[in-house]
Amino acid sequence: MRLVLVLGDQLSPDLTALQKTDKSNDVVVMAEVADEASYVPHHPKKIAFTFAAMRKFAESLRSDGWTVAYTKLDDPDNSGSITGELLRRAEEYDAAGVVYTEPGEWRLIEALGDLPIKSHSLPDNRFIASHDEFDDWADGRKALRMEYFYREMRRKTGLLMDDDQPEGGKWNYDHENRKPAPDEVSFGGPMQFTPDETVQEVLDLVAARFGDNFGSLEDFWFATDAGQAKRQLAHWLKGGLPKFGDFQDAMLGDNRFLYHAVIGLYINAGLLDPLEVCQRVEEAYKSGDAPLNAVEGFIRQIVGWREYVRGIYFREGPDYTRRNQLNAQRKLPPVYWGGETKMRCMERTVAQTRDEAYAHHIQRLMVTGNFALLAGIDPSEVHEWYLAVYADAYEWVEAPNVIGMSQFADGGIIASKPYISSGNYIKKMSDYCGDCAYRVQDKTGEDACPFNLLYWHFLDRHRERFSENGRMGNMYRVWDRMDEEKRKTILSEADDFLDRLSAGEAV
């Protein structure tokens, strides 16, 4: 008899470890443990979602004929760690060894690799590209740009392919997916599920144990099983997908979801199969229910970007989260934990994160991420914040998005240039600037938008690294054409802002 480990982000009935073992003889081990719940200060909604989904998945396995040894967080015999629970169950069942599907974090991979009992790791079959496939694609390339990998994934899956050519004659319709925030949104957002008895029990436990963590546990509405997650997918396909592409980069202060699917947490936890989701999205296009720009934009995020960042994470190795190529050393300021701020874009994005454990990709990249990069905040602290506060965050997907894409801390492995902007981008794509205490049109002075000051400060302090970057040359030419006194004023005011930020003042 062997133990079969199932982690909290592996809630899939076709998981490799379940397919390669024997339900009539082997025992599934699942455990809510303190180590996993607290290695960063996870959002209470994230913890509650994970524990509730785990409990329901364990019951589905039992109904399917498996023996499941399940440890709740408040069980008196809980050892507090995944490895501790495996050793405890191995002794209890006199197990010959452990079989598990490869985790999505180096931390757990290393811990399981050091088990003092026989163990066997299996590849995660829920991804389209294996590690070897990604490495074969990456080997010998001067730049690992997602676009070319994405095309390989389209060919492999057949998604939006017309024989050997992309549907519509183009691989990428991103230029059609950058419309500013609309005046009205016709989609009501994701389905909201009332907590049942299982979920409520978890909510009470999480409130007692993690009530002081950043994040509200009130109004918990996430799906917590595959059936509910599939209902949310169907709901979005009908109401949200048709306009998703047009407005996927838009931001509204009083509408937190716009046309987004909000299913990343369900895919990453295993409640939805990513390829099946993409096939459903493709079917909407083929049936005339959604336009090509929306469908291609969504599929690119899943079979392109999602697969790509996983490949980068495992290719780069365990030290990836410690990269800091721009030598950013500033501590993460209180605004990220809900501290007072006059910046409306930061206030709204952080408040949404606190309430929902969710913000969409542009809020993460071009508001909180952009600010952190411009302000020179230590990328390891930025990484741990994103890993803690979002319900869809697991290190394999979060770290490359933050360390590489958002903070340029990997030196350009993922991004060909830093993703920075002044306040003008936020003004164009949102309604945040309308009643902000700062004036986005002011470039200097007491009311100048901090993004305007920090944008030029970043370029100036990193000139040696970026002035020869072909995509940034025009930025430096604009800077160089400015009056010298204006440049001095910008840098002085930016320095003053950063000093106040470091001192913990409300900015």
Q: What is the pTM of this model?
A: 0.96
The DSSP call for residue 128 is: S
In this predicted structure, what is the pLDDT of residue 137? 97
- Same domain for 143 and 34, yes or no, is no
In this predicted structure, what is the pLDDT of residue 23? 95
Mean pLDDT by 10 residues, the chain (507 residues): 97 97 96 97 98 98 98 97 97 96 97 95 97 97 94 97 95 93 95 98 98 97 98 98 97 96 98 98 98 97 98 98 98 97 98 98 98 98 98 98 98 96 97 96 96 98 94 95 96 98 93
- Same domain for 111 and 137, yes or no, is no
- Same domain for 27 and 113, yes or no, is yes
In this predicted structure, what is the pLDDT of residue 490? 98
In this predicted structure, what is the pLDDT of residue 190? 98
23: domain range? Answer: 3-122
Q: Indicate whether 455 belongs to any domain.
A: yes
Strands (E), 146-273: 161-162, 165-166
Beta bridge partners of 31: 71
CATH of the domain at 98: 3.40.50.620
In sequence order, what are the residues at sequence separation of 6 or more whose Cβ sits closer than 8 angstroms to the Cβ of residue 217?
Answer: 44, 45, 48, 203, 206, 207, 211
- Same domain for 351 and 378, yes or no, is yes
- Same domain for 488 and 397, yes or no, is yes
The DSSP call for residue 123 is: -
- Same domain for 115 and 135, yes or no, is no
Residue 289's region, left for phi above 0, alpha for psi from -120 to 50, else beta, is: alpha
- Same domain for 88 and 8, yes or no, is yes
- Of the candidates 502, 497, 158, 131, which has an alpha carbon nearest to the alpha carbon of residue 315? 131
- What are the C-alpha distances in Å from 90 to residues 78, 111, 216? 14, 16, 37
- Same domain for 112 and 142, yes or no, is no
In this predicted structure, what is the pLDDT of residue 24? 95
Listed residues 65, 100, 122: the one ending a domain: 122
Give the total residue count for the chain.
Answer: 507
- Same domain for 270 and 395, yes or no, is no
For Cα atoms 207, 397, 140, give the angle at the middle one, nearest 5 degrees: 165
- Same domain for 251 and 395, yes or no, is no
Listed residues 252, 283, 315: the one ending a domain: 315
The structural domain count of the chain equals 3
Listed residues 88, 122, 156: the one ending a domain: 122
CATH of the domain at 346: 1.10.579.10
Q: Indicate whether 157 belongs to any domain.
A: yes
In this predicted structure, what is the pLDDT of residue 318? 97
Residue 345 · residue 430 · CB < 8 Å = yes
- Of the candidates 183, 175, 287, 192, which has an alpha carbon nearest to the alpha carbon of residue 242? 287
Q: Indicate whether 87 belongs to any domain.
A: yes
- Tell me the three state secondary structure of residue 450: helix
- Of the candidates 243, 232, 235, 263, which has an alpha carbon nearest to the alpha carbon of residue 186? 243
- Same domain for 12 and 161, yes or no, is no
Residue 387 · residue 393 · CB < 8 Å = yes
